[in-house]
Amino acid sequence: AERSLQAAFDAAVAADERIEPRDWMPDAYRSTLVRQIAQHAHSEIIGMQPEANWITRAPSLRRKAILMAKVQDEAGHGLYLYGAAETLGTGRDELLDKLHTGRQKYSSIFNYPTLTWADVGAIGWLVDGAAITNQVPLCRCSYGPYARAMVRICKEESFHQRQGYELLLALARGTEAQRAMAQDAVDRWWWPSLMMFGPPDDESAHSAQSMAWKIKRHSNDELRQRFVDICVPQAEALGLTLPDPELRWNEERGHWDFGAIDWQEFREVLKGNGPCNEQRLNQRRAAHENGAWVREAAAAHAAKQAARAAQ
Ligand code: ACO
């Protein structure tokens, strides 16, 4: 029976059909999805912190309203994704506990500080731009609930990306000090954004299997290259420079060549030694503890409603 279930699963993946929660799936497929979706969900909610840092200091009411909406969107993305993980039989409590105890990762990018207002623009343009490049193919992921969550998330991410670009454009066309602030933010966020796509293909432990399962549709390096190719003309339009002297159009490849990424830095950030790892996790744990009464109140309310309905 196991063999025919496996055959049915393989045939569905080969035919580009969606695997749904009640379908049989190999254990390793399930655990790979939980790993990736959980890491993704954790990234969304940890990612609220660096930008929330600027809500109280946004330079105008318009910018403040936009930024608040954006940070709120990230919370929503976390909810869709924890929901998708739950369809695989893993509870939210368990996933959050793994995040809080360092047993599950979140994206390296959110361990860098937001030092100036221009960082909000650079995050929108580069970090959300990288996220979209990585996530649009996930809309075609073989697992239905994840793929469907990604459709909504990508629509919102593309709005986020544009607000970042527009913010940087305003700074780049502003005073000399504003232009310099925009350039400094791009200088600091460029390389970490390239690291978001994960290790190089020959060091990516999960890529081959995830691509065979059609969870991932493209390799880490393919998506990284796609992102670089998109960003170069956009930087030019902004009048800002990408901090890589080796960026060069390669006629033969039809792509931009770029310089070497500091993978040692990436590994250090993953190990917990990035500039803000400790701060991010401490703040997350504190938010969870401080929110305990809300969860308790919601549970008590639900129990009361259920008891009333049963009367
Ligand atoms: N930050 C932290 N960890 C990373 C990163 C990164 N940028 N890139 C790779 N890793 C981890 C992987 O999770 C894996 O660790 P694990 O085995 O402990 O789980 C390890 O490094 C090896 O990497 P890969 O074999 O390449 O892992 P994978 O096939 O999962 O590919 C990728 C990594 C591309 C990030 C994939 O998981 C993915 O597409 N995830 C969904 C997108 C996502 O998580 N985005 C979050 C940031 S965007 C945002 O929230 C705005």
pLDDT at 121 over 80: yes
**Does 1 have pLDDT greater than 90?**
no
38: its two tokens:
């959980």
Token pair of 86 as six digits: 């739950």
Task: For residues 116-120, give the mean pLDDT.
Answer: 98
With 80 as the cut, is the pLDDT of residue 156 above it? yes
Backbone angles phi, psi at 56, to 5 degrees: -70, -15
Amino acid (1-letter code) at residue 10: D
**Span from the CA of 135 to the centroid of ligand 1 (angstroms):** 12
Instruction: Provide DSSP, 221-280.
Output: HHHHHHHHHHHHHHHHHHT---S-TT-EEETTTTEEE-----HHHHHHIIIIISTTHHHH
Does 35 contact ligand 1 (Cβ within 6 A)? yes
104 ligand 1 Cβ < 6 A: no
**Residue 254 burial (10 A CB sphere; 0-12, 13-18, 19+):** exposed
Q: What is this model's ipTM?
A: 0.98
Q: pTM (2 decimals)?
A: 0.96
- Quote the ligand 1 centre to 10 CA distance (angstroms): 24
Query: What pLDDT, on a 0 to 100 scale, did the predictor assign at position 102?
Result: 95
* Ligand 1 touching residue 193 (CB < 6 A): no
pLDDT at 198 over 90: yes
Q: What's the confidence (pLDDT) of residue 311? A: 87
Q: What is the pLDDT of residue 191?
A: 98
pLDDT digits 0-9 by tens, 44-102:
999 999 999 999 999 999 999 999 999 999 999 999 999 999 999 999 999 999 999 99
Ligand 1 centroid vs 206 CA: distance in angstroms? 9
